[in-house]
Amino acid sequence: MAQQDFDNFKQRLKGWMNTHPDEYDLFEAEMNSRDAVGYQKIISKAITFVPQYKKLLLKKANQGMFDEISDIENLFANNKLAQALLNELENANKDTFIPAMLSWLYFGQSFERMVEIGEELRKNPDTGYLQKFAIVSTIRILIFKSISLGLRTKADWEDHRTLMEMVDSDRTIDWAMDTEKKKAGRKKSGKTLSNMMLGTPVNKPEDIIDRIGKYLTDKNSKQDIAKLKVALEELFYIIPCEITAFRNALHLQYGRHIHIISERGIQDAEKYLKTFVAGKGKMIKDFPENRNNLDEIKIFLSC
């Protein structure tokens, strides 16, 4: 799928989520349910599209072939599963869960929930070693794929691991108290994007907020968000602020439908862009490739 086609696909999903909030919430609840009804629906649907998938799953389970999934990817590609999903998305009726599933995969906490369920199954005393091998390999593949696809960062997974370790321990109260101490030790920032535009030349904040949302639908990596912040500040559309405040404002505005990565990754990306290179006499953000990209973002935001 070409980049423009992919961007259009994500925009269509975002539009579906905005117009079908109840259907999305119901599907998300099924995926969070401990009876795994949502996962059973997905596997059954995949077998409906590609009947050979069931046989391949059984083969991999019986032979302990868990460390890679290229055979599954090839099977789906050869049977044009992606096209079948797109066709069902284009001709969606009230009985299909495909739009909700695709929206959850791209904009929900899908990878985190799948990893958490895997951990629960792995720790279940009734789970045998063969199943545990499969679960561990699946978790590794999920994390690797989420990072390689740009949907999560290593920092995101480090933060999530810390959270999972905390809720699995007896340190919940200590963690909560430490968190409150850290919050008390730094200036609170609950500013919204609209607040950040007060005192700037922006006459209609809602227009800029809408454009930012469209930008983040397709571009939400740490580099994308760092460049967005730089562009907004260069346009004087927002007051200069710390990454934490900016990231929190984005999460507050768009977090329900767009995954906003953790602040650490964005901080690193912004620090890199604003690094001054003495030999060049300018910051890295002003190198031709970055400057061209920033100018494109500024044009998009100011259209």
pLDDT of residue 62: 76
276 SS3 class: strand
Q: Output the furthest CA–CA distance in the chain (Å, rounded).
A: 65
DSSP string covering 229-249: HHHHHHTTSS----HHHHHHH
pLDDT of residue 224: 93
First to last CA, the chain: 27
Contact 151, 106 (CB under 8 A): yes
pLDDT of residue 178: 66
Cα distance between residue 241 and residue 274, in whole Å: 14
| Count of C-beta atoms within a 10 Å radius of residue 253 | 17
Q: Where are the alpha helices (DSSP H) in 187-260?
A: 193-196, 205-218, 222-234, 243-254
pLDDT of residue 188: 47
Indicate the length of the chain as a whole number.
Answer: 303
Residue tagged 């890199």 (tokens): 272
Q: Average pLDDT over the chain, rounded to whole?
A: 84
The answer to whether the pTM exceeds 0.85 is: no
- Residue 93 falls in which region: left (phi positive, over 0), alpha (psi -120 to 50) or beta: beta
Say which residue, 250 or 132, is predicted with more confidence.
250
Residue 179 — pLDDT band, cuts 50, 70, 90? low
Q: Are strands 282-283 and 276-277 parallel, antiparallel or unpaired?
A: antiparallel
* pLDDT one-digit tens code per residue, 75-96: 888 989 888 888 888 887 778 9
Paired residues of 277 in beta bridges: 282
Which of 110-119, 154-163, 227-236, 243-252 comes out lowest in average pLDDT? 154-163
DSSP string covering 123-169: H-TT--HHHHHHHHHHHHHHHHHHHHTTSS-HHHHHHHHHHHHHHTS
* pLDDT one-digit tens code per residue, 14-53: 888 888 888 989 999 988 887 778 888 888 889 999 999 8
- pLDDT at 226 > cutoff 90: yes
Paired residues of 282 in beta bridges: 277
| Count of C-beta atoms within a 10 Å radius of residue 297 | 21
